[in-house]
Chain A
């Protein structure tokens, strides 16, 4: 550790009147204690809400033969929540660190537009029977692969080379999304009402219509990607310092940025294809986790983000299902809170 670091830590220690020397992710021991406490709290809330979602208001008694099927069915949506929380929290935190900007989210890159574009064009070009058959692991993988492929083209084209520019890439991604929306809107206009109904049902995503048949592939994929991101989180720490500092530390900036963007693309594409779009959920989670984890070390921020995402999502579903009996508005409500949080952060920012 450099003299500077030790001096800094000593200064912090002296301020709070605690031990003098301390190096690590947290400035003071109290910060660390608070971090672990909050992490346990959010995980606990998540687990409690999961238990509630599965067991509360069971229509059948425990010894009934239909108890297990009911639990299984409920478990599906809980698993979907787990996947959504993991994907959005990891992807958003990593994305904000890589771009060095805490007000943007990866869902801006147009995954949902591409998803609805794929679905619409299958129906448009190949007809209703093909769309009905366009399910199962093959179709799922095809869509995820297409989404990742498009992101790769976008990154490779706009991020590498002399003119590589992260913000330009983002903006082009957003605009491509808007353009694709218009094209699919155009195709949807030409569909017959019955075909349109079929498509409509496909395009509205929620944790409740996640298809459990995909879990055997999706769960390992998501877990492996998230684990890779977690293991590489020290690199992420360096990347978040910016291009110059990262290069000075000996990290190949461009290669690592693209690597992380690919991991982010995998997470976002999977969750979009499985559950559907959630624009501001990731933003909300990331913002809360920066508050709850007073450190810049991603080894601590990432788990906290996941814990918050999972806790928030499951508690929101539990409360709105069983306490307020308002099933349809959960995702909209989460988006709304995320949006309000976004506005607050935006107007308080001094520099971007």
Chain B
């Protein structure tokens, strides 16, 4: 097995820590507490953003708990999930441009949703979710397999190939939708929006909390897995099992979000990159930061999406897609300037 592939997939290794700073490992620091408060404040803004007058109307209180609270919770969970999948994929592949959007995982999840609709007439949410999870697992596995087989001359090839792969999968989905007259399903899926979230329709997102806990427990081991099969095995880890675990974590996050919310592009790319730019690559202590930044970013984007054409709203994925593309290009150019792109 070539561990080279994984090694060479490394892009711009993080700047070496200048001096050992033991307080890095402490979780609760002043900036972290401030960040928590900032995210809580954003959540509060999200709770009170909307057209419906929850103060004046009689049933305002009910509406508050039927739509506003679930929506804000869904935002937080989705933000944490997508940012974390990005981090896991960065760890395992040691390539900071890999995330569900750039590996085709999201397109696989869409195909999974479609498969659920094709196999079962009128599938329940759980069935759709299962379809999306299974397909994104298979898709991510194919991509990892490809990464391990191929010697890469440039780390930039990885996202390019991943997006080509995604385009193939979505061409296939388009073919199926045209064949079975279901383009609306995919259309709705492709534009991720929090507008339909209400009590009774988002609760499956709580699975993400469990995924977050598992990721936190395994963070160190996943980092070692990123060093390649030989190193991981020498250090006493079961490499293949770890890769499968990482893959399953990613697939569950992407699948659940795909079934409940839809496609959330680029979040897994921009959030971990920004966090590691500011804090370096101490992964275990970065994980809470990544979750928090993910929550904050998506909540902010959703508030913008709700306000920008009030009383209507645009899907948050469009805002994230635009913003994410801009940030991605900035990150690329930054790396180019420091000569880290090979």
Determine, out of B53-61, B276-284, B291-299, B331-339, the stretch whose residues face the partner at the interface.
Answer: B331-339
Complex alpha-carbon distance, A178 and B270, angstroms:
15
Residue of B nearest to A177 (CB): B325
Residue of A nearest to B317 (CB): A182
Q: A342-B168, A343-B165 are in contact. Are A108 and B160 (CB under 8 A)?
A: yes
Determine, out of B20-28, B86-94, B151-159, the stretch whose residues face the partner at the interface.
Answer: B151-159
Contacts of B333 in A (CB 8 A): 172
Contacts of A179 in B (CB 8 A): 321-322, 324-326, 329
Q: Cβ of A174 < 8 Å from any Cβ of B?
A: yes
CB distance from B12 to the nearest CB of A (A): 12
Q: Cβ of B150 < 8 Å from any Cβ of A?
A: yes
> Contact: B314 with A189, CB < 8 Å?
yes
Complex alpha-carbon distance, A349 and B5, angstroms:
13
Complex alpha-carbon distance, A179 and B328, angstroms:
10
Q: Cβ of B149 < 8 Å from any Cβ of A?
A: yes
The bracket for how many chain B residues form the interface is 35 or more
In the complex, number of A-B residue pairs with CB atoms less than 8 Å apart: 133
Contact of A352 among B152, B163, B315, B325 (CB under 8 A): B152
> Contact: B179 with A329, CB < 8 Å?
yes
| Chain B CB within 10 A, most for which of A175, A179, A328 | A175
The bracket for how many chain A residues form the interface is 35 or more
CB distance from A96 to the nearest CB of B (A): 13
Q: Cβ of A347 < 8 Å from any Cβ of B?
A: yes
> Contact: A171 with B332, CB < 8 Å?
yes
> Contact: B332 with A104, CB < 8 Å?
no
Contact of A342 among B142, B151, B164, B314 (CB under 8 A): B164
A 228-263 to B, binary, CB cutoff 8 A, 1 in contact else 0: 000000000000000000000000000000000000
> Contact: B336 with A165, CB < 8 Å?
yes
For chain B residues 60-117, which have a beta carbon within 8 Å of chain A?
97
Residue of B nearest to A158 (CB): B336
Complex alpha-carbon distance, A171 and B164, angstroms:
11
Determine, out of A26-34, A53-61, A330-338, the stretch whose residues face the partner at the interface.
Answer: A330-338
CB distance from A75 to the nearest CB of B (A): 28
B 5-49 to A, binary, CB cutoff 8 A, 1 in contact else 0: 000000000000000000000000000000000000000000000
Contact of A186 among B167, B314, B328, B336 (CB under 8 A): B314
Q: Cβ of A163 < 8 Å from any Cβ of B?
A: yes
Contacts of B168 in A (CB 8 A): 280, 339-340, 342-343
Complex alpha-carbon distance, A263 and B325, angstroms:
27
Complex alpha-carbon distance, A182 and B317, angstroms:
8
Contacts of A175 in B (CB 8 A): 325, 328-329, 332
Q: A329-B175, A339-B172 are in contact. Are A182 and B156 (CB under 8 A)?
A: no
Complex alpha-carbon distance, A343 and B152, angstroms:
17
> Contact: A103 with B164, CB < 8 Å?
yes
Contact of A172 among B164, B318, B329 (CB under 8 A): B329
Contact of B322 among A108, A182, A336 (CB under 8 A): A182
Q: Determine chain B's interface SS by DSSP, over half rule.
A: helix
Contact of B171 among A168, A176, A186, A280 (CB under 8 A): A280
Contacts of A172 in B (CB 8 A): 329, 332-333
Q: A168-B341, A182-B318, A332-B175 are in contact. Are A190 and B309 (CB under 8 A)?
A: yes
> Contact: B329 with A176, CB < 8 Å?
yes
A 5-20 to B, binary, CB cutoff 8 A, 1 in contact else 0: 0000000000000000
A 50-86 to B, binary, CB cutoff 8 A, 1 in contact else 0: 0000000000000000000000000000000000000
| Chain A CB within 10 A, most for which of B168, B169, B321, B336 | B168
Complex alpha-carbon distance, A351 and B178, angstroms:
36
Contacts of A352 in B (CB 8 A): 150-153, 157, 161
> Contact: A108 with B163, CB < 8 Å?
yes
Contacts of B149 in A (CB 8 A): 347, 349-350
Residue of A nearest to B328 (CB): A175
Complex alpha-carbon distance, A105 and B167, angstroms:
12
Contacts of A101 in B (CB 8 A): 157
> Contact: B157 with A167, CB < 8 Å?
yes
> Contact: A336 with B317, CB < 8 Å?
no
22 chain-A/chain-B pairs, Cβ below 8 angstroms: A108-B163, A108-B164, A163-B337, A167-B160, A168-B332, A171-B97, A172-B332, A174-B163, A178-B265, A178-B325, A179-B329, A182-B321, A182-B322, A189-B315, A190-B309, A335-B175, A342-B164, A346-B146, A346-B161, A347-B146, A352-B150, A352-B153
B-side residues, CB < 8 A to A, are 97, 142, 145-146, 149-154, 156-157, 159-161, 163-165, 167-169, 171-172, 174-175, 178-179, 191, 265, 309, 314-315, 317-322, 324-326, 328-329, 332-333, 336-337, 339, 341
A-side residues, CB < 8 A to B, are 101, 103-105, 108, 163, 165, 167-168, 170-172, 174-176, 178-179, 181-183, 185-186, 189-190, 279-280, 328-329, 332-333, 335-336, 338-340, 342-343, 346-347, 349-352
- Give 9 new A-B contacts, CB below 8 A, not counting A179-B322, A329-B178: A104-B160, A167-B154, A167-B157, A168-B156, A172-B332, A178-B265, A185-B191, A351-B150, A351-B151
